[in-house]
Amino acid sequence: MVRHPVAFKINGQKREAEIDTRTLLIDLIRDTFHFGGAQRCPSIACTGACTVLVNGWPVCSCLTLAVAVNGAQIRTIEGLRCDDGTLHPLQQALVDHCSSQCEYCTAGILMSATALLDTNPRPTREDIRRSLAGNICHCTGYANIIDAVLAAAKTMRATLEAR
């Protein structure tokens, strides 16, 4: 077994480890660094529940080798909360729009939506559909999720304009 040192910034904090070169990013995040929000996908196909942001881009952490993103800025669902401890507008909008049931897919959906809103503060319904194409939800369907992302975008724009 070949071991390799890796270092990341996860949710703004520097983290280091020595890992097997075959270690998946999901295993490093969950088992080594104890961020349990990203869910392991149940098979070799990615459902999007394991989505994290790597340098701002949504990535299926269950399909990504940790060594491949060595040195990256990683953001997990645990890093989405606002600095004052309140829910991020996306999290609050999902609650307000009853957009989750079992919550298995929720972290991945939130991370994919975050990546979208970070680059496109005025998304259309189609933009949101495309950004969530890799996220599978078996419980709710997507109408309320799309409505929630639109509402969060509006809230986030209003907050920026108020500054």
Q: What confidence score (pLDDT) does residue 93 get?
A: 97
Q: Are 97 and 79 a contacting pair, CB within 8 Å?
A: no
**d(Cα 59, Cα 66) in Å, to the nearest integer?**
11
Could you say which DSSP state residue 39 is in?
P
Q: What is the pLDDT of residue 44?
A: 67
- Please tell me the pTM assigned to this model: 0.93
pLDDT value, residue 102 = 84
59: left (phi over 0), alpha (psi -120 to 50) or beta: beta
Beta strands in the chain (DSSP E): 3-10, 13-20, 51-54, 57-60, 73-75
For the beta carbon of residue 73, count every other beta carbon within 10 angstroms.
15
pLDDT values of the chain reduced to their tens digit, one per residue, 163 residues: 789 999 999 999 999 999 999 999 999 999 999 999 999 877 666 889 999 999 999 999 999 999 999 999 999 999 998 889 899 999 999 999 998 888 889 999 999 999 999 999 999 999 999 999 999 988 877 899 999 999 999 999 998 888 7
